[in-house]
Structure 1
Amino acid sequence: MKKLVFVLALSLGSLTAFAQDTDEAQVDATEAVAAQDDFSEISASELPEAVTAAVAKNYPTATIDKAYVNEAQQYKLEVSLEDGTSGTLYADENGNWIEM
């Protein structure tokens, strides 16, 4: 009987410790994602003319839904097309498309 109580206590303790580690891992993963996305939202009217011209030239049916900028003056644009598709584009301050 003592062995049974000991095994139950040990099992419960290890499950609790595992659950705590999982919670901490989720917090760390969330912080890592937030650290990678260092863009700040701006209004579409704040975009450089070169960026809006590049969107108009390459995606004439696109509407800029949201715009973001980072410290390197790179712009993240969430756009939607007339056909209902949407996507994310990245451009530098001169209107050149970049890979992120």
Structure 2
Amino acid sequence: MKTLFLLGAITLGGFTANAQDALFSQSGIVHNEVKEIMVTANDFTEISVSQVPQAVMDAISTNFPTANLDKAFTNEEKQYKLVLSLEDGTQGTVYADEDGNWLDM
């Protein structure tokens, strides 16, 4: 019984040892393949707070009456990334379109 259990453990250990994908170079050196994925956030560029459309400012004052607009960013699609701070010092980022509609990003 011990032999059967030991045989099963060795077999399972052998499966995990061969689970990695390895690449061999011409010199015989083993390299593990690593992939990186870069995600861009729609290339927002910073703008001054005075350049934010009035509809967006109205949406901020309606939904976040105690918030201050610290920074504003925009992209080519006229979407706005807004960094808000509350009176207690917490900060948050919200996204809106040029008409003041909130976006999930």
Indicate whether the TM-score tops 0.5: yes
- The CA deviation string for residues 49-93 of structure 1, in whole angstroms up to 9 with x for no partner, is 000111011101111111011111010001100011111010110
Uncovered stretches (5+) of structure 1, i.e. residues with no partner: 1-9
Q: CA–CA distance in 2 between the matches of 1:51 and 1:36?
A: 20
Q: Which runs of 4+ in 1 moved over 6 A?
A: none
State the partner residue of 1:41.
Answer: 46
State the partner residue of 2:67.
Answer: 62
Q: Bigger radius of gyration, 1 or 2? A: 2
Cα distance, 1:36 vs structure 2: 3.2
Uncovered stretches (5+) of structure 2, i.e. residues with no partner: 1-27
What is the one-letter code of the residue matched to 1:99? D
Q: Which has the higher contact order (CA 8 A, sep 6+)?
A: 1
Relative to the length of structure 2, the TM-score reads: 0.64
- What is the DSSP-based 3-state SS (H/G/I as helix, E as strand, rest coil) of the residue aligned with 1:55? helix
Q: CA–CA distance in 1 between the matches of 2:56 and 2:94?
A: 10
Cα distance, 1:37 vs structure 2: 3.8
Q: CA–CA distance in 2 between the matches of 1:36 and 1:66?
A: 16
Identity across the alignment (%): 51
Kindly indicate which of the two structures has a greater share of residues assigned to helix. Answer: 1
What is the aligned-residue RMSD (CA, Å)? 1.9
State the partner residue of 1:89.
Answer: 94
Relative to the length of structure 1, the TM-score reads: 0.67
State the partner residue of 2:104.
Answer: 99
Kindly indicate which of the two structures has a greater share of residues assigned to strand. Answer: 2
Q: CA–CA distance in 2 between the matches of 1:64 and 1:51?
A: 11
